[in-house]
Amino acid sequence: MTEEGAEFLLQARSIINSVDQAEEQIGARRAKPAGRLRVDAATPFMRHVIVPLLDGFSMRYPDVQLELNSNEGVTDLLENERMWRFALVP
């Protein structure tokens, strides 16, 4: 192998190692939920179903910030950037 080829191979291996390390770091982040979770629900459902689960959820997923909203109206999930909407339908 030429001197230039050997130098190129050394640089290429360094780049591949950097990419591998970056993929491992991203993979580790995906394994642990984090970020903001917006939940919208009717008031009775929020009060009697979701609220009792909050302590356990927060302990299990400390890096998830919950944003809870309860209302009885129709919610545009995209406009209000909600990820979940629970509705009680008669």
The 10s digit of each residue's pLDDT in 40-51 is 888 888 888 889
Secondary structure E strands in the chain: 35-41, 64-70, 84-86
How many structural domains compose the chain? Answer: 2
Interatomic CA distance for residues 2 and 58, integer angstroms: 58
pTM here is 0.51
38 is in which domain, residue-wise? 33-90
Please report, for the domain that includes residue 87, its CATH number.
3.40.190.10
The 10s digit of each residue's pLDDT in 68-80 is 888 766 655 555 5
Looking at the fold, whether 41 and 66 belong to one and the same domain comes out as yes
